[in-house]
A and B are shown apart, each in its own frame.
Chain A
C-alpha cells in the first residue's frame, strides 16, 4: 500500500515510525484518539495531554503542510494558546497592524485606525502564517511530552475505518507497514473540511457553496512597504469583486484576489498572470518575489450534530466558513477549548458523558452559526447577490467616502470575536443586578491587568479541569468543594482597578463569579451563597438542570 501525499510539507515533524501497537495481537485502547494533526487536532492533543489524558494523534502526513492558509488569529485564540503555554512565540513573531485603507474602484474612500481596548495581555489579533502557528503548537507538544504529558503523534497513519462499538470506538489505520487496529474511549475527528470520518459515519454537512474562487498570493517585497490592510471593492483591474492585502511576518504580504467562479485555474496560476495581478494592485514599480500562490473556493457548512455516541467532531471537519473575517482556525481552537475539559471530566468519571457532550454540541453549534452568519454577511456585502443588494452596497460605499456614519456599514469581513454561550444548558443564574453585559453567564472572561500580571494568567486550567470562584469585594470562603470538584477562590478588589470594576462589577458593589476551566463564566451572583454555587457547579458539569 503506497501513500500518496495530498499536499507538500513545510516541515517534516513527525516522520513515520512503526509503533509497537502494530505488532500486538490485540488492539491497544487509548483514552482519546484524534484523527488529524492540523492546528485543531494538535491543540486538542496538547490541551488533553497537559490535563493528563492519554491521547494519540493519527495523521496521514508526516508534518505541517506547506503554504500559508490562515493568516489572522484573534485575541481569544491567543488567550487559549496562552493558557496552553504557546502564545509567547506567536505574539513575538506575529504582525500587528492598525491602519486600514478601504478602496472602491479607483479611489481610496477612507482609512481607519484600529484602537484596541486597553488592559488585555493579548493583542486584538495578529497576522501569522499558518505553518508558524502549527509549528508553535507542535513545539509545545514536544515540550509537554518531555515533561511527561501522555501525547503520541503518529505520521503516515491514515484512518480508513471507524466503528462505534458502544463502549469504545474501533479504528482501522493504514500505515506503510500495513493495517492495524486501535481502540479509543473517545474519538475526535479533526480531519479537516473533507472529513473522511464524517463520510464514514454518513453524517450530514450542509450549507451554502459560494460560486466564487480566490487566488491567493504571498509575496515578499524587496523594499519597504507599509504595514497596513488594504481592501478593494470592485478593483480597477475589473477582474473580480474584491482584493485584500495584508502583512505577515518575514516581509511577506498576503494578497487575495476574488476572481469569480468561472476562472481558469491553470491560466490564473501561471506565474506571469499572478505577477500581472499583483503589479496592478501594488504598483508596477514595486519589486517582489512570489513566495506561494494557490486558488481556492469556499463554502459555509456545518454538521447538524457535532458528536454521535463516542465520535466527536472539531474544527473544519465540523464546520467550514468563508475566509472573510478569518474564522476557521479561530473557531476551531474555541472547539478544542470547549471540549478538552469536558472530556477530562467524563474520562475521570466526575461528570456524566452525554449531557456534557450535548453541551459541546449546543455551545459550539451556536459558535459555528455565529461565524457562518458573520462570514455570510460579509460575503453578501463584498459580492452582492442581486441588483438591489449591489445598489445598497454601492450606496454605502459612496456615503462612506464622505461621511463617517456610513463607515460601520462597510463590511469587508469582521474580526472574529469570542462566542458568548447565551442559552447554554450549562449556564447558571445571573443575579448580579446591573452587572456588565460582557461578563454575563456564557461569556469568555475579559482580561484585566492585575498587580504583577493579568487576570487571565490566573483563570482557567491547562493542567486539569478546575473550576474557579472569583470573589470581588465580597466575602467568600478560601476553598470550595462540591460534586467531587475542588475549586479555588480568588479574592480581588476593584478599589484600585477601574477596569476590573467596569468589566466585572458595573454598578454592583461586589460580585461572585463561577468560572469554567475554559475561562467562560458559568454563573454570577451579588454575594456568596453556598448552595447556589454548588447547584451552579453541578449544572456546569452537566449534572442537573
Chain B
C-alpha cells in the first residue's frame, strides 16, 4: 500500500479544476460521459501502476 500519492500535489488547483470543467462545456451528457471515460483511460495509462490504480479505485468508493 501507499503507492498512490494522496498528499496535496497540484500547484495550481483552481487552474486544473477549471480546465476540467471547461473541457465539458457545450457537451451533452452522453458526450461528457464518453469524454470522462477516455480521460480516465488516458490518466490510467499515465499512472501505469496497477497497485496505485487499485488504491485510487478504492479511494473513489468514498
Contact = CB atoms under 8 A, between A and B. Distances in A.
Interface of A: 391-392, 394-396, 398-399, 405-406, 409
B33 A391 contact: yes
Contact of A406 (B33, B34, B45): B45
Interface in B7-62: 33-34, 37-38, 40-42, 45
Interface of B: 33-34, 37-38, 40-42, 45
Contacts of B33: 391
Contacts, number: 23
A409 B37 CA distance: 13
A335 B32 CA distance: 48
Contacts of A409: 41
Given A391-B33, A395-B41, 18 more contacts: A391-B34, A392-B37, A392-B40, A392-B41, A394-B34, A394-B37, A395-B34, A395-B37, A395-B38, A398-B34, A398-B38, A399-B38, A399-B41, A399-B42, A405-B45, A406-B41, A406-B45, A409-B41
A100 B45 CA distance: 23
A394 B37 CA distance: 9
Contacts of B42: 399
Contacts of A395: 34, 37-38, 40-41
Nearest to A396: B41
Contacts of B45: 405-406
Nearest to B33: A391
Contacts of B40: 392, 395
A399 to B, nearest CB: 6
13 contacts: A391-B34, A392-B37, A392-B40, A395-B34, A395-B37, A395-B40, A395-B41, A396-B41, A398-B34, A399-B42, A405-B45, A406-B41, A409-B41
The 4 closest A-B pairs by CB, nearest first: A395-B37, A395-B38, A391-B37, A405-B45
Which of B33, B34, B37 has the most C-beta atoms of chain A within 10 angstroms of its own C-beta? B37
Contacts of A392: 37, 40-41
Nearest to A406: B41
B61 to A, nearest CB: 15
Contacts of B34: 391, 394-395, 398
A4 B27 CA distance: 63
Contacts of A406: 41, 45
A159 to B, nearest CB: 47
A394 B33 CA distance: 11
A15 to B, nearest CB: 56
B34 to A, nearest CB: 6
A398 B38 CA distance: 8
Nearest to A408: B45
A399 B36 CA distance: 12
A392 B33 CA distance: 9
A396 B33 CA distance: 13
Nearest to B42: A399
Contacts of B41: 392, 395-396, 399, 406, 409
B45 to A, nearest CB: 5
A146 B37 CA distance: 62
B5 to A, nearest CB: 21
A392 B37 CA distance: 6
Contacts of A398: 34, 38
A258 B35 CA distance: 28
A397 B2 CA distance: 32
Contacts of A405: 45
Contacts of B38: 395, 398-399
A234 to B, nearest CB: 14
Nearest to B35: A395
Contacts of A391: 33-34, 37
Most buried by A among B34, B38, B40: B38
A137 to B, nearest CB: 40
A511 to B, nearest CB: 29
Please indicate which of the listed interface residues A395, A399, A406 has the most CB atoms of chain B within 10 Å of its own CB. A395
